[in-house]
Amino acid sequence: MLFNSIEFAVFLPVVFLLYWFVFNRNLRLQNLFVVVVSYVFYGWWDWRFLLLIAFTSLCSYVSGLLIAKFHANPRKAKSINVINIVLNLLILGVFKYYDFFATSFADLFLGGKTDGILLKVILPVGISFYTFQALSYSIDVYRGKMEPTQDIIQFFAYVSFFPQLVAGPIERATNLLPQFAKPRTFDYETGVDGLRQILWGLFKKMVVADSCAVFVDQVFSSHQTQSGSTLLLAAVFFAFQIYGDFSGYSDIAIGTAKLFGIKLMRNFNVPYFSRDIAEFWRRWHISLTTWFRDYVYIPMGGSRCSKAKIVRNTFTIFLLSGFWHGANWTFIAWGAYHAILFLPLILLGKNRKYRDTVAEGRLLPNLKEFGQMLLTFILVVIGWIIFRAESIGQAWEYFCGMWSWETLSACYKFFIQADIWKTSIAILAMLVIEWLSRQKIYAFSISSIPSPWIRTTIYYVLIFIILMNFGTQQTFIYFQF
């Protein structure tokens, strides 16, 4: 079920009313209701894969209990944790990566013949997200960071909570699971704030991302015949498409969770206002970045080791991050590209330099800050070309074509198209609002505006713009991961 669909527009208020007015008197019953509606939400896409998410949940739940039971025997506890990790990653590997490895093997040793060796299974939506969320629980129990839950319904609600089930944020059990263990009360101000964040997420998805998608898909599918300036414009548009799409989903998910008295972690923090690539990764897909940091980077030694090992650790998490995104060499190349960009900052000890907000306390950045943000954005856009391409060869062709002599020519012919004009204005509006709100939890937090008439007018204008763009339902990009 898509957030930007009529079905969800009906589903959400019905679930909200039942959650607070029918099932609110009994915590266990309320949590069971969360599990049921979450499975309906997920099964709306394909009910057959409900067994998969249930099996993943059950494995991690049981492993948590067994790890605690054998806590006095570290060897057994470790074995149980390893078995659960391997089992979950094996399921992920079969559905997401088997055909990729089989095809690569066939290309190397069988002359490209794949007859009889491919599974050709459908990739379950959001499998990487809920698998990592389930794994974090058993790992944290093994590390002694939390006690295992005895309530299987609470645990199933934690893994399957529908707002963030298929595209994050990837929550930690230490944050989300305890929220299902205590009674929840509806807070009006939090609920209104949640609706406001949902509205902003829908704007970024339906007005910015989906408008960009039309142009981007057209150009990437015919990149050989496009001019350099067209390719450059499409690359920039894709940067805003993937940001509007993914951060928009996160805003809708976080806002929806607020309606149910649940607090999810922040997943994006105005990443395109970053001054270097390290700052960008502290602000982009925060839940995944911190997951790899806590469960891969730090156990390998993190930054408390030699420079050579820090470089090794950094390349490892970026390559894994790339591979997590999909079974294609383009994703691995994208991860390696960002690792290379990270390398000078590590060697110079500047990878943690920018931890504040750019131009803090000022309306505009200074010339140096603007140049840093522009350079970082350009480097990120180059990476997005690799990410968006269907193959390494296509990415190279696209990049070479983009920097042809024609790139320097006038681009006015694109802007005479109404759609390009509207999309450009939407992007600009998003950037202005996010710049002015860069120190807030999310951009559209306008509760500080004293006049209720002004706030109401802004809401209705935004709703009108969103409805004007309510055409073909575009799926979220990160559903494929």
Percentage with pLDDT > 90 across the chain: 64
Measure the CA–CA gap between 250 and 255, rounded to whole angstroms: 8
pLDDT tier at 216 (50, 70, 90 boundaries)?
Answer: very high
Q: Percentage of the chain with pLDDT > 70?
A: 94
Buried b (16+ CB within 10 A) or exposed e, 399-408: bebbeeeebe
pLDDT at residue 124, rounded to an integer: 87
Write out pLDDT tens, residues 347-401: 888 888 888 899 988 999 999 999 999 999 999 999 999 999 999 999 999 998 8
Q: Give Cα 385 to chain centroid, integer Å.
A: 18
Which structure tokens are listed for 290? Answer: 């911190």
| Banded pLDDT at 478 (limits 50, 70, 90) | low
Average pLDDT over residues 95-111: 81
Q: How confident is the model at residue 5 (pLDDT cuts 50, 70, 90)?
A: confident
Per-residue pLDDT at 125 exceeds 80: yes
Residue 92 has pLDDT above 60, yes or no: yes
Size (the chain), residues: 481
Residues 6+ apart with CB under 8 A from 444: 196, 197, 199, 200, 203, 433, 437
| CA separation for the pair 339, 319 (Å, rounded) | 8
Please classify residue 349 by burial: count the beta carbons closer than 10 Å to its beta carbon, then call 0-12 exposed, 13-18 middle and 19+ buried: exposed
The 10s digit of each residue's pLDDT in 45-85 is: 888 889 999 999 999 999 999 999 998 898 999 999 999 99
HSE of 343, CA atoms in CB hemisphere, 13 A:
12
At position 207, the amino acid (one-letter code) is V
Q: What is the mean pLDDT of the chain?
A: 89
Whether the Cβ atoms of residue 374 and residue 318 lie closer than 8 Å to each other: no
- Whether 338 is catalytic is no
Look up tokens 């997590």; give the residue: 324
Contact 212/469 with Cβ under 8 angstroms? no
Of the listed 71, 223, 285, 325, which one is catalytic? 325
Answer whether residue 410 shows pLDDT above 50.
no
Model pLDDT for residues 21-37, shown as the tens digit of each residue = 999 999 999 999 999 99
- What confidence tens digit (pLDDT) does each residue in 298-333 have? 999 888 888 889 999 999 999 999 999 988 899 999
Whether 406 has a pLDDT exceeding 60, the answer reads: no
Q: DSSP 3-state assignment of 333?
A: helix
pLDDT over 90 (residue 228): no
Each residue's pLDDT tens digit, 140-168: 999 999 999 999 999 999 999 999 998 87
The pTM score is: 0.92
**Which residue, among 383, 344, 69, 140, has the nearest Cα to 239 in the 3D structure?**
383
Q: Is the pLDDT of residue 106 over 90?
A: no
Rg (the chain; Cα; Å): 23
* Per-residue pLDDT at 447: 66
Q: What is the pLDDT of residue 369?
A: 96
Residue 246 has pLDDT above 80, yes or no: yes
168, 478 Cβ separation under 8 angstroms: yes
* CB-based contacts of 346, cutoff 8 Å, min separation 6: 307, 310, 311, 314
Q: Name the amino acid, one letter, at 428.
A: L
User: Which residues have a Cβ under 8 Å from the Cβ of 6 and sit 6 or more positions away?
Assistant: none
In the chain, what are the domain boundaries?
6-185, 190-275+354-480
| CB within 8 Å of 168: residues ≥ 6 apart | 129, 249, 250, 253, 267, 285, 287, 288, 478
Comparing 128 with 419, which gets the higher pLDDT?
Answer: 128
Question: Which of 106-110, 268-272, 392-396, 412-416 has the weakest average pLDDT?
Answer: 412-416
Q: Is the separation of the CB atoms in 163 and 253 below 8 Å? A: yes
